[in-house]
């Protein structure tokens, strides 16, 4: 349990020379998340941080928002095989007494996945109606301000923390930083959304939500679901080393999220929330 890499034989061809040797690959296994004993979702993930992943997923779903709302998370013994063996691929999340349990059916609409059947205004409305915290700067929490110089240094700091990527080259990463550039936490996973859920779930279990004074950096693109996860966790700044999607920009603009894409060295595109970057003066909108 918890093994994040596996070895497989590979034939390597380099400059015409052929060799046969073992290669280190990132592990990928399904994780079934149950809520109060009922199946809720299945995600393909890198084993490890499974409890944080499940908790973070439920934050994104609007089910959890505080540590005291979570009663327990346990692995289900013998869930997929006989003999009572624990497969470590099924977890059951139990909510605390009094926490509303969402209606779980085979036709439930889960807007955290690209296959949910929701799009456009329906997706934006779903996040707006379930988000617990406002990202507007008139909230009681002092607004986050970050310089473009600090922001430009974050990808290298996150890359330095990617230990499994160094061995496999096959993982996405997500990092949580202070506005001053200090790395608070980082997670790796085959799924970029899982890496973010692991960050948020760990913060929930530590009683640190909302993450109103932090910056979230992801190693790939900024999809709608990643912007949604940032909003649901109360994170005011989301930066990505690659491109955002159009719906991610729409959600960021509506929710008050600062969204930065193509963060590479001193270059970046600021799509929304320019006011949080202290060195940026917004020009005329086209």
**Distance, CA of 173 to CA of 168 (rounded, Å):** 13
Please say if the pLDDT value at position 247 is more than 70: yes
Name the nearest CA neighbour of 201 among 18, 82, 13, 48. Answer: 48
Q: Establish whether 76 is a catalytic residue.
A: no
Q: How many CB atoms lie within 10 A of CB 103?
A: 6
Which letter does DSSP use for residue 200 in this model? H
The mean pLDDT of the chain is 84
What is the pTM assigned to this prediction?
0.84
Most confidently modeled range among 5-9, 92-96, 97-101, 219-223? 92-96
The whole-number average pLDDT for the span 212-235 is 95
The whole-number average pLDDT for the span 262-266 is 92
Tell me phi and psi for residue 35, to 5 degrees: -120, 115
Amino acid 183: pLDDT = 95
Buried b (16+ CB within 10 A) or exposed e, 75-87: ebeebeeeeeeeb
Please say if the pLDDT value at position 1 is more than 60: no
Report DSSP letters for 172-196, one per residue.
EEEEEEETT--EEEEEEESSHHHHH
**Distance, CA of 102 to CA of 237 (rounded, Å):** 29
Domains of the chain (ranges plus CATH)? 29-130 (3.10.20.10), 148-276 (3.40.140.10)
- For the chain, the straight-line distance linking the first and the last C-alpha, in angstroms and rounded, comes to 52
| Residue 111 near residue 123, CB atoms below 8 Å | yes
The whole-number average pLDDT for the span 103-121 is 45
The whole-number average pLDDT for the span 168-175 is 75
Please give the residue that has the higher pLDDT: either 167 or 64.
64
Report DSSP letters for 210-269, one per residue.
S-TTEEEEESS-B-HHHHHHHHHTT--EEEESSPBPHHHHHHHHHHT-EEEEEEETTEEE
Please say if the pLDDT value at position 27 is more than 60: yes
Tell me phi and psi for residue 185, to 5 degrees: -165, 155
The whole-number average pLDDT for the span 42-57 is 94
């Amino acid at each position: 349990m918890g093994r994040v890499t596996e070895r497989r034989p590979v034939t390597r061809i380099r400059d015409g020379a052929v060799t046969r040797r073992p290669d280190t690959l990132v592990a990928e296994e399904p994780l079934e998340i149950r809520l109060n004993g009922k199946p809720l979702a299945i995600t393909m993930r890198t084993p490890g941080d499974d409890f944080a992943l499940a908790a973070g997923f439920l934050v994104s779903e609007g089910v959890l928002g505080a540590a005291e709302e979570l009663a327990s998370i346990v692995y289900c013994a013998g869930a997929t095989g006989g003999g009572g063996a624990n497969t470590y691929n099924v977890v059951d999340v139990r909510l605390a007494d009094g926490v509303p349990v969402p209606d779980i059916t085979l036709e439930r609409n889960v807007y955290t996945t690209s296959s949910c059947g929701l799009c456009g205004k329906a997706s934006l409305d779903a996040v707006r109606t379930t988000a617990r915290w406002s990202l507007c700067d008139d909230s009681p929490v002092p607004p986050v301000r970050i310089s473009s110089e600090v922001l430009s240094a974050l990808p290298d700091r996150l890359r330095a923390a990617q230990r499994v990527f160094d061995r496999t080259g096959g993982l996405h990463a997500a990092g949580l930083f202070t506005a001053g550039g200090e790395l608070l936490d980082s997670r790796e996973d085959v799924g970029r959304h899982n890496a973010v859920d692991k960050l948020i779930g760990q913060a929930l279990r530590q009683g640190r939500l909302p993450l109103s004074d932090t910056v979230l950096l992801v190693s790939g693109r900024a999809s709608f679901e990643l912007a949604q996860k940032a909003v649901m966790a109360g994170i005011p700044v989301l930066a990505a080393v690659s491109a955002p999607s159009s719906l991610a920009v729409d959600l960021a603009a509506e929710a008050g999220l600062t969204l930065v894409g193509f963060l590479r060295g001193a270059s970046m595109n600021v799509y929304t929330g320019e006011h949080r970057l202290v060195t940026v003066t917004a020009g005329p909108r086209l």
